[in-house]
Chain A
Amino acid sequence: MNPIISIRGVSKWYGESQVLDGIDLDVLPDEKLILCGPSGSGKSTTIRLVNALEDYQKGEIVVDGVKLDNSPLSIRRVRADVGMVFQHFNLFPHLNALANCTVALRLVKKMTAKDANALAMHYLERVKLGAHAHKHPGQLSGGQKQRVAIARSLCMKPKIVLFDEPTSALDPEMVKEVLDTMLQLASDGMTMICVTHEMGFAREAGDRIVFMDHGRIVESGEPRRFFSAPESARAREFLGQILS
């Protein structure tokens, strides 16, 4: 099976400091990939590369047959296929939940208001927020906001959804509702890359886990085996810290 995302020898620098050092990573269609690692390891940067929120200086990234070469056309084509869910939700505070979902449908996909509303309601109901469609983000809980954000990205009918620490900014009691939504999405066959430290989720949904440190991929493997018997000393140390 051909990979839907292919990252080959990608390096990235912010001025003098190198944040990614020769990343090689393939993601297959329908695969659920978990990225983890300590802060500053480059995991967020890596997924942000996939929809061109960051550029890179060396290597090659191909997403669904489109080579990301910093050209506006390639960026536009890739973003049409890739949805993104952020740590801090990044909902548009001046628009209600429904309008958060429809704004890009109207502007980017040029849908009519009627079609966009129908599609957005479909996804809001799927994340169990149909009754809250007319509330503004300021009137929703953290978990509800993140579910709106997931619905917003699904409305664009992406082939891949990227999750950048989607539960890190949530109160503990709201983590489950977001993870349940993500599990449902995983079981529907979506290709997902998740930066997360939620080990329960990683075990249940993850096909593969990639551990990064200092801008490099240190090890990758099946989640259950990674958590019980990590190969590298760095991964053992990291797991020791987050499990304690």
Chain B
Amino acid sequence: MTLDTLKTYLDPLLQGASWTLALFAASSLLSAALGLLVCFCRMSSLAPVRAIAKAYIDVIRGTPLLVQLFFLYYGLPELGVVIPGFAAGVLGLVLNFGAYLAELFRSGIQSVDNGQFEASRALGMTRLQRMRVIVMPQALRTIFPALANYALVLVKDTSLVAVISVYELMRAGQMLAGATFRSLLVYSLVGAIYFVMCSVLSTVFRRAEKWLSIPGYWSGAPDHNPAAKI
């Protein structure tokens, strides 16, 4: 196989990959925002607000993403709600990851020592200031490795929206394989492109984790390795 033939296969796939990146960008940002909102609802002092957040989390986590996507794209039109493919894909991913991120954020916030809340209260900070400046910066550092996991899962789960005819990397692969009958080659290339995207993303997260590390705290230095203490 010559480089030229490889290029004829890669071009449509890379075009699909650019849509995968768009899906990832939109749904990662929106699901983080939704997750934060649901997390605060889940920890609200108002029981009905908590109940709604819990119900939402339970429904989303209790059903497959594939079913949720089918529901949004094929189910809702029966009720007169028609959502275009890309929007339905983003909505499905956001609703799904928002629920998981809400619980992740909650675990991070609850891991912050109670003394931090007390010290910032004693200094006269408002609730919002305590959250923004004292609690969240610590919570986010704690959950950062898990956050990287979810980001990588999200990159790969964008491939599921191919089933609701959204054009992205997986869909581009299916179309190309269908037209050329060279499934082995095409899906190898598709897999390789996902792998490259994930590798770049995990490098970014590793760098960011290092950058966010606090001097004197666990930062990857061997003498601070908590695992060594077990």
Contact = CB atoms under 8 A, between A and B. Distances in A.
Interface of A: 51, 53, 76, 79-80, 82-84, 86, 88-94, 103-104, 107-108, 135-140, 149, 152-153, 156
A92 B122 contact: no
B215 A136 contact: yes
B124 A80 contact: yes
A143 B226 CA distance: 24
Contacts of A91: 119
A79 B116 contact: no
A138 B118 contact: no
B123 A104 contact: yes
B138 interface: yes
Q: Which 6 A-B pairs have the closest CB atoms?
A: A138-B216, A90-B119, A90-B115, A104-B123, A139-B216, A84-B122
16 contacts: A51-B122, A79-B123, A80-B124, A84-B119, A84-B122, A86-B119, A89-B115, A92-B134, A93-B214, A103-B123, A104-B123, A104-B124, A108-B123, A138-B214, A152-B123, A156-B123
Q: A53, A88, A93, A153: which has the most chain B beta carbons within 10 Å?
A: A93
A103 B214 CA distance: 17
B48 interface: no
Given A135-B215, A136-B215, A139-B216, A94 B123 contact: no
Contact of B122 (A53, A89, A136, A139): A53
A76 B124 contact: yes
Given A76-B124, A84-B122, A139-B215, A94 B129 contact: no
Contact of B216 (A80, A103, A137, A153): A137
Given A90-B115, A90-B116, A107-B129, A83 B122 contact: yes
Contact of A90 (B118, B125, B133, B214): B118
B125 A94 contact: no
B180 to A, nearest CB: 53
Contacts of B124: 76, 79-80, 104, 108, 156
**Dominant secondary structure of chain B at its interface with chain A:** helix
Q: How large is the interface on B (under 10, 10 to 19, 20 to 34, 35 or more residues)?
A: 20 to 34
A53 B118 CA distance: 7
A157 to B, nearest CB: 12
Given A93-B138, A104-B124, A107-B125, A88 B214 contact: no
A215 B216 CA distance: 40
Contacts of B118: 53, 86, 90
A176 B138 CA distance: 31
B115 A88 contact: yes
Contacts of B156: none
Contacts of A83: 122
A137 B120 CA distance: 16
B133 A103 contact: yes
B126 to A, nearest CB: 8
A224 B213 CA distance: 49
A6 B125 CA distance: 25
Nearest to B114: A90
B54 interface: no
Contacts of A103: 123, 133-134
Given A92-B116, A94-B137, A94-B138, A104 B217 contact: no
A84 B133 CA distance: 19
Contacts of A94: 137-138, 141, 214
A89 B118 CA distance: 11
Contacts of B123: 79, 103-104, 108, 152-153, 156
A93 B138 CA distance: 8
Nearest to A88: B115
Given A93-B217, A152-B123, A107 B116 contact: no
Q: A84, A88, A91, A104: which has the most chain B beta carbons within 10 Å?
A: A104
Contacts of B138: 92-94
Nearest to A76: B124
A227 B104 CA distance: 52
Q: A91, A92, A108: which has the most chain B beta carbons within 10 Å?
A: A92
